[in-house]
Amino acid sequence: MNLTERPGGLTFEDVAEQALTDEVRPMQAHLLEVLDALRKAKTDRRISGILVKGSFQPQDYGCGYSTVREMIEGMEDFKSSGKPVIGFCHSPSQLDYLVFAACDELYMDPSGTLLLNGLASGDLFLGDTLKKYGVGVQVIRTGRYKGAVEPFTSNAYSPENREQIKRLLDVRWSDYLGFIAQRRDLSFDELNTTLATKFLFEPEDAIENGLIDKILTHDQFIDLIIERGALNEDGDWYEEVALIDYLDRPQPGESLQGPEGHFRSPEIAVIYVEGVIVDGWADDGSMVGGGEIVSRIRSAWNDENCRAIVLRVNSPGGSVSGSDAILQEISRARKEGLPVVVSMGAVAASGGYWIATDCDLLLAHEQTITGSIGVFGLLPNLQDLVPGLGPLSIR
């Protein structure tokens, strides 16, 4: 699935694209509804356990590291009920394995592999190429660590940008290994030493190194789950309920708000800012418009039944005007007496951090990426490439 921060749904464009291309998009679920489902399953007598299988299929800003970590925290709360969480994997990605490592029992297909080869970051630097073709790029930048412009002006990372990227990767990898070592009852130092020389594990190697519990073929695993759970009515599969069918999702057209757009009873408004902040009214998981978020905040503080706003941010930033419009509307809501709590998801950087600065309470996960405080502008000059053409200003 694609695990997002914001509730989503199929738009007309999505349906049209799938019809024209025969492309089937992965199931999309947002973190809050998954956590609610895990809490419900914890006390649901019909649920005997959780089966984890498949893989993440990230799209846009879905499947962020801290978002996945929060989902795992919900799984571990479920485990406190005494019900097991059982995993079955074939060739999980590193992000997938983070979830599998938290299972009580982890089984692997004999034809599978496990790859734990670390983290890396790379950019395509166009500075020399643009210069060769007569494209001059002038940069206006505030903040030494604001490295987003470097691919257009340089042929390598600046020392400041290399420092911050390396710091991020080191902290993330240390957290990743520490999480796996703790959940799989391994020594952090031994695991780190092993992965420094060996990172591709066949199933037998994975067992030897404590990364999985047992090797089972798919049909053997089905028999195991039938034994641990129950046989379905047709007698050919285990009794199951898919996560998508267990979520408490509103029906199409159903809302907590009445026909006038107001809350029917005292509620907390949860407003999601996921994607690059742009001007206008976008909200598709990839981009989110400042005008759209302003409208939602204004609707909340104008509603007498709204008691507070929770702003959930998963954004790398973007437009100055779009971000500033959101920030000003948050300030207005607080002046109108409405408490505002900001909760940071996987990333709240640059403009995503800016909009979080005026609130009553600001919360972040320990693995939230935040900061990137600064601004930049690019001024390409195409005069040498196209004689007679003056400077073109792009912000």
Same fold, 2-117+199-246 and 267-380: yes
- Token representation of residue 265: 């009873």
Single out the residue of 101, 94, 93, 45 nearest to residue 76, CA to CA: 101
Q: What is the DSSP string of 137-197?
A: EEEEEE-TT--TTHHHH-SS--HHHHHHHHHHHHHHHHHHHHHHHHHTT--HHHHHHHHHH
- CATH assignment of 267-380? 3.90.226.10
**What's the CA dihedral at 47, 52, 57, 62 to 10 degrees?**
60
Any catalytic annotation for residue 79? no
CB 167, CB 175: distance < 8 Å: no
Catalytic residue among 146, 154, 319, 343: 146
In this structure, are residues 39 and 77 in contact, taking their beta carbons and an 8 Å threshold? yes
pLDDT at 259: 46
Distance CA 90, CA 111 (A): 7
Token representation of residue 288: 């989110």
CATH of 2-117+199-246, one of 3.90.870.40, 3.30.70.1350, 3.90.226.10, 3.40.50.261: 3.90.226.10
Residue among 197, 217, 220, 201 at smallest CA distance from 209: 201
Question: Where do the structural domains in the chain lie, given as residue ranges?
Answer: 2-117+199-246, 127-159, 267-380
Contact call for residues 220 and 112 (beta carbons, < 8 A): no
Q: Please say whether the dihedral angle defined by the alpha carbons of residues 167, 169, 172 and 174, taken in this order, is positive or negative.
A: negative
Report d(CA 286, CA 278) in Å as an integer: 10
Place of tokens 């009873």: 265
Residue with token string 């005008």: 291
Q: Is 350 a catalytic residue?
A: yes
Q: What is the pLDDT along the chain (395 residues), one digit of tens a residue?
A: 999 999 985 555 655 666 676 667 789 999 999 999 999 999 999 999 999 999 999 999 999 999 999 999 999 999 999 999 999 999 999 999 999 999 999 999 999 999 999 999 999 999 999 999 889 898 888 888 999 899 999 999 999 999 999 999 999 999 999 999 999 999 999 999 999 999 999 999 999 999 999 999 999 999 999 999 889 988 889 999 999 999 998 765 555 555 455 667 889 999 999 999 999 999 999 999 999 999 999 999 999 999 999 999 999 999 999 999 999 999 999 999 999 999 999 999 999 999 999 999 999 999 999 999 989 888 888 878 776 665 555 55
The pTM assigned to this predicted structure is 0.91
